Amino acid sequence: MIGDTSPTADIVAAGDNLYRLQTDGEIRRYDGHRWDVLWCDKQQKTLSITACGYQLYRRQEGKVWRYAGTPISGWEVVDESEATVDIIAGDWALYKRHNDGSIWQMTLI
């Protein structure tokens, strides 16, 4: 078993990183020894996460955020669409599925 037994909603791996979304919306990264908290706000619960390379993204109602490298405060908004219901990252793009079934690509730099 890796780390503690906190309730986990989802895990994603990218590069050398393993990320965990807990059922309470908290996001953690495993450093090989312990889980570091990257995001924790019970009022703005994270709905899903995705990662590619060394980029981590989280989706909340109406916003998609990219992790910029500093725990808790190091997040930047990359999309503000109320229609986004799912996200997945791949190489240099972030893909979003909207509530009408359409798929959108965001090219990332």
Task: Report if residue 107 sits inside a domain.
Answer: no
- Residue among 51, 39, 42 nearest 88 (CA): 51
Task: Report if residue 70 sits inside a domain.
Answer: yes
Q: What is the pLDDT of residue 109?
A: 62
Q: What is the pLDDT of residue 70?
A: 77
Q: What is the pLDDT of residue 3?
A: 67
Task: Report if residue 89 sits inside a domain.
Answer: no
Q: What is the pLDDT of residue 5?
A: 72
49: CATH: 2.40.10.480
Sheet arrangement for strand 84-90: 84-90, 93-98, 103-107
Apex CA 51: angle with CA 47 and CA 52, to 5°?
160
Query: What range does the domain containing 17 cover?
Result: 8-83
Task: Report if residue 109 sits inside a domain.
Answer: no
Number of domains in the chain: 1
Task: Report if residue 91 sits inside a domain.
Answer: no
Q: What is the pLDDT of residue 64?
A: 94
Q: Supply the pTM of this predicted model.
A: 0.86
